[in-house]
Amino acid sequence: MPRRNRKAVKIRDARQLRAIRTPFRQGLLQSIVRLGPVSVKELADALDRPPASLYYHIHALEKAGLITGQKQDPHKGGAGNTYEAVANHILVDRSVRSPAFARALLDLHRAALNQTSREIERALRRERMDETPEGEGVVLLRLTACLSRREAQEARRRLRELAQYLDDHSRMDGDETLSLTATLVKVDQCS
């Protein structure tokens, strides 16, 4: 079922980028978005992790302003804090030109590519062990195309559309978890 609330936050600070540099923290933030206001215990149960292993990361996300914590009144049945994401989506403000921001953004890209590499390795291992039919574990494409400005804009729009489709249909009770890592990079002028 497609989600309705589409609130986004624009990151303009290198510290915020560093806070979500690791795949674990990105997954933690995604879980907080998906679960809504959630206690550390509920989050730990959903992630099958001990609660103590989450506090450091939750504190870093909260300090970066990506989640907020709210104390629960123990007299009204609440225990501890609940945490909520400040937005469903994170956008990076590409107009920020500081060297620290550029380094943090590059680190974030490297972390995403490293995570993708690990996911591909696991999927290929499953394919080799005949657990996954060939071609269903990994679809890998690397293309270079010389496009007009209008065609390049259309390619970017279609990629965003695919990402939106995956996001709209992501749910905890699905049959398959798919990971998409896509990068459209302007590399050269056409000759």
What is residue 3's predicted lDDT score, i.e. its pLDDT? 45
Tokens of 116: 């993708």
Task: Identify the H or E element spanning 18.
Answer: helix 14-19
Tokens of 136: 């269903």
What is residue 79's predicted lDDT score, i.e. its pLDDT? 60
Mean pLDDT of 8-23: 91
What is residue 169's predicted lDDT score, i.e. its pLDDT? 80
According to DSSP, the residues that pair with 91 across neighbouring strands are 10
Share of the chain above pLDDT 70, in %: 88
- Fold exhibited by the domain 8-92: Arc Repressor Mutant, subunit A (1.10.10)
Q: Write the pLDDT tens digit of every residue in 60-112.
A: 999 999 999 988 655 555 567 899 999 988 888 989 999 999 999 999 899 88
Higher per-residue confidence, 189 vs 78: 189
Higher per-residue confidence, 38 vs 133: 38
Domain limits, the chain? 8-92
According to DSSP, the residues that pair with 90 across neighbouring strands are 9
CA atoms of 80 and 44, how far apart (whole Å): 14
Higher per-residue confidence, 71 vs 171: 71
Higher per-residue confidence, 55 vs 142: 55
What is residue 166's predicted lDDT score, i.e. its pLDDT? 86
CA atoms of 3 and 8, how far apart (whole Å): 13
DSSP calls for 114-127: HHHHHHHHHHHHHH
Closest CA to 70 of 85, 83, 55, 56: 83
What is residue 170's predicted lDDT score, i.e. its pLDDT? 72
- Cα angle 120-188-146, degrees, rounded to a multiple of 5: 80
Task: Name the phi and psi angles at 21, rounded to 5.
Answer: -70, -30
Inter-residue contact 44 to 83 (CB < 8 Å): no
CA atoms of 61 and 85, how far apart (whole Å): 9
Q: Write the pLDDT tens digit of every residue in 116-134.
A: 898 888 888 877 776 666 6
Closest CA to 136 of 171, 176, 173, 181: 176
What is residue 140's predicted lDDT score, i.e. its pLDDT? 82
Tokens of 101: 């921001």
